[in-house]
Structure 1
Amino acid sequence: MKRFVYINDESYQNDYCDNQISNTKYTLWNFLPKNLWEQFRRFMNQYFLLIACLQLWSLITPVNPASTWGPLIVIFAVSATKEAWDDYNRYISDKQANEKKVWIVKNGARKHIQAQDIRVGNIVWIRENEEVPCDLVLTGTSEPQGICHVETAALDGEIDLKTRVIPTTCVGLDSEQLHKIKGVIECPIPDKDIRRFDANIRLFPPFIDNDICPLTINNTLLQSCYLRNTEWACGVAVYTGLLPWMQ
Structure 2
Amino acid sequence: MPFFERKQQKNQNSGDAGHQRKISTSTIPTISKRRIYVNLPLPATELDQYGQPKECYVTNKIRTSKYTLLTFLPKNLFEQFRRVANMYFLFLVVLQLFPMIGGEVQPFLASVPLISIISMTALKDAFEDWKRHAQDKNLNRSQTTLLRNWRNVNIPTNDTSSQNFLVRIWNGIFNLLGCRIGENLDNNKVSHTTHNGAVWTESHWQDVKVGDIVKLKNNDAVPADMIILSTSEPDGLCYVETKNLDGETNLKVRHCVPSTISITTESDCENIAFYVESEQPHSNLYSYTGVLHYPDNDATDNNLIEPISINDVLLRGCVLRNTEWAIGLVIFTGTDTKIMLNSGDTPSKRSKIEIETNFHVCSFTSENIQGCYLFGIDPQLKNCVA
Deviation at 1:226, TM superposition (A): 0.9
Is 1:222 the counterpart of 2:264? The answer is no
Residue 196 of structure 1 and its aligned partner are, at CA, apart by 0.8
Instruction: Give the alignment partner of residue 245 of structure 1, picking from 342, 347, 357.
Output: 342
Q: Which has the higher strand share?
A: 1
Conserved 8 A contact 1:52-1:69? yes
Q: How is 1:106-125 mapped onto 2 (pairs within 5 angstroms)?
A: 106=148, 107=150, 108-125=198-215
Which of 52, 57, 61 pairs up with 1:20? 61
| Residue equivalent to 1:52 | 93
Q: Is the 8 A contact 2:225 2:333 kept in 1?
A: yes
Count of residue pairs brought into register by the alignment: 246
- What corresponds to 2:71 in structure 1? 30
For the aligned residue pairs, the C-alpha RMSD in angstroms reads 2.7
Pairwise CA distance, 1:230? 0.9
Question: Contact conserved, 2:205 with 2:223, CA < 8 A, in 1?
Answer: yes
- Aligned position for 2:251: 161
The answer to whether the Cα contact below 8 Å between 1:151 and 1:228 also exists between their aligned partners in 2 is yes
Contact 1:2 1:189 in 2 (8 A): yes
What SS class does the counterpart of residue 115 from structure 2 fall into? helix
CA distance 1:13–1:7, change in 2 (3 Å) = farther
Q: Against the structure 1 CA distance between its residues 155 and 13, is the aligned structure 2 distance closer, same or farther, given a 3 Å change threshold?
A: farther
Determine if contact 2:145/2:200 at 8 Å carries over to the other structure: yes
SS of 1:29's partner is coil
The range that moved more, 132-141 or 104-113, is 104-113
Report the equivalent of 2:33: 2
Amino acid across the alignment from 1:225: C
SS in 2 for 1:60: helix
AA partner of residue 133 (structure 2): Y
What is the one-letter code of the residue matched to 2:342? W
Q: 2:136 aligns with which of 94, 98, 111?
A: 94
Distance in 1 between residues matched to 2:216 and 2:71, nearest whole Å = 38
Give SS of 1:230's match: coil
- Residue in structure 2 matching 1:105, options 147, 166, 174: 147
**Residues 96 and 204 of structure 1: CA distance in aligned 2, closer, same or farther (over 3 Å):** farther
CA distance in 1, matches of 2:234, 2:320: 16
Match of residue 125, structure 2, among 83, 99, 117: 83
* TM-fit CA distance, 1:67: 7.5
| Equivalent position of 2:286 in the other structure | 195
Larger Cα-atom Rg: 2
Answer 1 or 2: which has greater helix percent: 2
Alpha-carbon offset, residue 179 of structure 1: 5.0
Distance between the aligned counterparts of 1:86 and 1:246, measured in 2?
A: 18
> How far is the alpha carbon of 1:58 from its aligned partner?
4.6
Q: Secondary structure at the match of 1:233?
A: strand
| 1:42–1:180 Cα change, 3 Å | farther
Summarize the Cα distance change of 1:122–1:213 in structure 2 as closer, same or farther, 3 Å threshold: same
Contact 2:147 2:212 in 1 (8 A): yes
- State the SS of the aligned residue for 1:88: helix
Q: Does 1:213 align with 2:306?
A: yes
What stretches of structure 2 of length at least 5 have no aligned partner? 1-31, 43-52, 151-197, 345-386
Distance across 2 between alignment mates of 1:55 and 1:183: 73
Change (3 A) 1:120 1:79: same
**Residue 183 (1) aligns with residue 274 (2):** yes
Structure 1 unaligned spans of 5+: none
Indicate the residue corresponding to 1:130 in structure 2: 220
How far apart, CA to CA, are the structure 1 residues paired with 2:104 and 2:292? 74
Relative to structure 1, the CA distance from residue 158 to residue 104 in structure 2 (aligned partners, 3 Å threshold; closer, same or farther) is same
Q: Contact 2:218/2:320 (CA < 8 Å) preserved in 1? A: yes
Question: 2:175 matched to which residue of 1?
Answer: none
Describe the shift of the 1:138–1:68 C-alpha distance in structure 2 as closer, same or farther (beyond 3 A).
farther
Q: Deviations over 1:9-35 (max 9, x none)?
A: 696597323222222222222211221
- Greater Cα shift, 102-111 or 80-89: 102-111
Deviates more, 1:46-55 or 1:9-18: 9-18
